[in-house]
Chain A
Amino acid sequence: MKKKVGFKTLGCRLNQFETDALASKFVGLGYEVAEDSRNADVFVVNTCTVTNQSDQKSRSVVNKAINQGHTGMMIITGCMANHHKEQLEKRYPNAYVVNNEQKSAIPQLVEAHFNKEILPANESKGGVFSYVPAAETFHTRSMIKIQDGCDNYCTFCIIPKVRGRAVSRSVDDILENIRQVVGFGYKEVVITGVNISRYLSDGVGFSGLLKQIVDIDLDFRVRISSIEPDSFDDDFFKLLEHPKITPHLHLCLQSASESVLLQMRRMYTYKLYKRIVEKLRNINPLFNITTDIIVGFPGETESDFAQSLSALEELGFGHVHTFKYSKREDTRAARMTKVIDEREKSKRSELMRQKSLHAKIKYRQQFIGQSLSVLIDTVKDDFSKGYGEYYVPVKINQKLEKNHLHTLTITGIETGGDDPCLIAERIAL
């Protein structure tokens, strides 16, 4: 009987990429994989530590599995494992706490565990890019990891301490990875990393890499995941016009107040950000720009917050992920004194959420009457669902083939809930 490995992934797309790659490796080794801990012989929790809430969620997943009777091997990995290794080992003495650098060696660790070879995780040979291309994953899009770590040192961010210094994967490895996953049948690849705009390998920067990716003579489309707006060149904007590159960027803003951006030690101004958005909308007026905004950063005044609220309308965001500022020890912002009261942060967060939902509906309504190329990822008895090239969800009351691109005409929008879905009623010919 096959052994079963359950996974739970928290946080960013990089974690998703790493989980997918691990799951695929386990499948190759003859294991069954699942997305929960039920009846699992091994449960891998790939944690996040970007906010206090992320830490709580990560702990809650581990506790839930234990409370639900998971008695098999427990592996806690990811950024929380890097940041709170000792506390986790103390709290969960039977768990293996594996840091990011050794994460890719988890399959060897599991094999060693079941072979009764006690192999401490930190002696396994790992590496931040030592993941084989994932043939079978939990997603219809294949994540491609190009980079790890960050050298920006934003004052609120713990990631440089837990992911380490910026390192880039070689161009050849990345291109080979993409050829392989497209060969596996993936129609869309998602370029991912901690700070991908700072990609640099043997003199090739992010735009140079992107050019070589779109030049691969295979049929697939490219999505660029979360990116920092601080180091774009002209070539980058030209490449965004390429038909293989989807018109969507998750362009982290964090605040629209110039003084808050300086306090955050972000490497751009709001004025520069606006200029980037203008360029993107010149390329394509429907270009989807999604973003992250932190509310309640130390010293954020009512006026600073109002500027971030105004930015929602001014820039027409397709989605805003709102974070209440959460103090992370060992960061510079943790030493800042003008702390915003928790109730005030909640109030600002709720205002931002309401306004961003309004902006999202307004943005998505523009697609009614348009045709979109939708990658179907969910097929149920009476409907199919997926994401179009703009990364907006689309639903159709029809069974369509999963993991294929379908050209659909948008006829309406479901506005209930936080993620209004576009409705397509027929397949355009």
Chain B
Amino acid sequence: MGKEVPVANKIKTDLHEILDIRHLTDSTFVLRIEKKDLDFEAGQHVCVGPPNGIHTREYSIYSAEQDDCLEILVKEVENGLVSPSLKKVQKGGYVVVEEPVGYFTINKDLPADQKYVFIASGTGISPFHSFVKSKSNLNYTLLHGVKKADEAYDSDVYEKGKYVLCTSQDTKGDYNGRVTSYLKDNKFGTDVHYYLCGNCNMIHDVYDILEEQGVSTDNIHAEVYF
């Protein structure tokens, strides 16, 4: 045909050096990884796994687009195949990383002053951390649902008044109760774009609440964590 066409679209994987491991709680940690040439859009995820295994898992990227490293937020899953291995890796070691992918990103066609509400459960805060760190002047409120206040991962990153910690099993959060209850008690409007990231049940319930509040599904974007 003579014209230049993509020869193949095989998923690219590579070994990336571990630059740092930062433990946030007993089970949750931030893995800082060599970026190499992996450009990404905030909200995308990568598949990461130990270098000597065949298994990888998807992790939303935690770091900012412009950072010179990649970070992922990992919660150790008991009896899991990947997260316990990732917890044991050492600085200077390696992990397998697939190229970033995903559509859970901010729509570039929306106006610069668009109001966003980010709703996360647990480590579902990861893409929102990347949004906030990547894009200055983002007009957002972040609702973070966790069991206990020690799961408020890196909450000092967010501007005062823009981060609402909802704790269901202690009273140390900004709101004592589930993030879904907070959302029922506090309406943000129908012209807002809502981004949801976390477990299926939270997302399912939030969809119902927002639709009851008259929010169009066009304004709701979801990324499910399993």
Known: A165-B101, A272-B217. A149 touches B7 (CB 8 A): no
Q: In the complex, which residue of chain B has the Cβ closest to the Cβ of A149?
A: B9
A303-314 vs B, CB cutoff 8 Å, 1 = contact: the mask equals 000000000000
Contact B204 A101 (CB under 8 A): no
Interface residues on B, range: 20 to 34
Q: Which A residues are in CB contact (< 8 Å) with B38? A: none
What is the CA–CA distance of A167 and B99 in the complex, to the nearest angstrom? 14
Known: A151-B101, A165-B99, A269-B217. A259 touches B204 (CB 8 A): yes
Interface of B is mostly: loop
Task: Tell me, rounded to whole Å, the shortest Cβ–Cβ distance linking A167 to chain B.
Answer: 4
Q: Which of B172-226 contact A (CB under 8 A)?
A: 200, 203-204, 207, 211, 217-218, 222, 224, 226
Contact B222 A165 (CB under 8 A): no
| Contacting residue for A267 out of B1, B103, B218, CB 8 A | B103
Tell me, yes or no, whether A173 is within 8 Å of chain B by CB: yes
Tell me, yes or no, whether A27 is within 8 Å of chain B by CB: no
What is the CA–CA distance of A423 and B218 in the complex, to the nearest angstrom? 42
Tell me, yes or no, whether A415 is within 8 Å of chain B by CB: no
What is the CA–CA distance of A13 and B6 in the complex, to the nearest angstrom? 20
Interface centre among B58, B101, B211, B218 (most CB of A within 10 A): B101
Task: Tell me, rounded to whole Å, the shortest Cβ–Cβ distance linking A264 to chain B.
Answer: 9
Tell me, yes or no, whether B3 is within 8 Å of chain A by CB: yes
A156-184 vs B, CB cutoff 8 Å, 1 = contact: the mask equals 00001101111101101100000000000
Q: Which of B1-19 contact A (CB under 8 A)?
A: 1, 3, 5-11
Known: A101-B8, A127-B8. A262 touches B3 (CB 8 A): no
Task: Tell me, rounded to whole Å, the shortest Cβ–Cβ distance linking B98 to chain A.
Answer: 9
Q: Which B residues are in CB contact (< 8 Å) with A148? A: 9
Q: Which of A215-274 contact B (CB under 8 A)?
A: 231, 258-259, 262-263, 265, 267, 269, 271-272
Q: In the complex, which residue of chain A has the Cβ closest to the Cβ of B6?
A: A167
Contact B226 A332 (CB under 8 A): yes
Number of interface residues of A (CB under 8 A): 37
Tell me, yes or no, whether A365 is within 8 Å of chain B by CB: no
Contact B8 A126 (CB under 8 A): yes
Contact B103 A151 (CB under 8 A): yes
Tell me, yes or no, whether A129 is within 8 Å of chain B by CB: yes
Contact B9 A169 (CB under 8 A): no
Q: In the complex, which residue of chain A has the Cβ closest to the Cβ of B226?
A: A332
Contact B204 A165 (CB under 8 A): no
Tell me, yes or no, whether A130 is within 8 Å of chain B by CB: yes
Contact A163 B204 (CB under 8 A): no
List 23 A-B pairs, Cβ < 8 Å: A101-B7, A101-B8, A126-B8, A128-B5, A128-B7, A128-B9, A130-B1, A130-B5, A130-B7, A148-B9, A149-B9, A152-B103, A153-B102, A155-B226, A161-B11, A164-B8, A169-B5, A231-B103, A258-B204, A259-B204, A262-B204, A271-B211, A332-B226
The chain A residues found within 8 Å of chain B, CB to CB, are 101, 125-130, 132, 148-149, 151-153, 155, 160-161, 163-167, 169-170, 172-173, 231, 258-259, 262-263, 265, 267, 269, 271-272, 275, 332
The chain B residues found within 8 Å of chain A, CB to CB, are 1, 3, 5-11, 58, 99, 101-103, 200, 203-204, 207, 211, 217-218, 222, 224, 226
- 6 additional A-B residue pairs with CB within 8 Å, beyond A152-B103, A262-B224: A151-B101, A153-B58, A165-B9, A165-B11, A170-B5, A172-B3
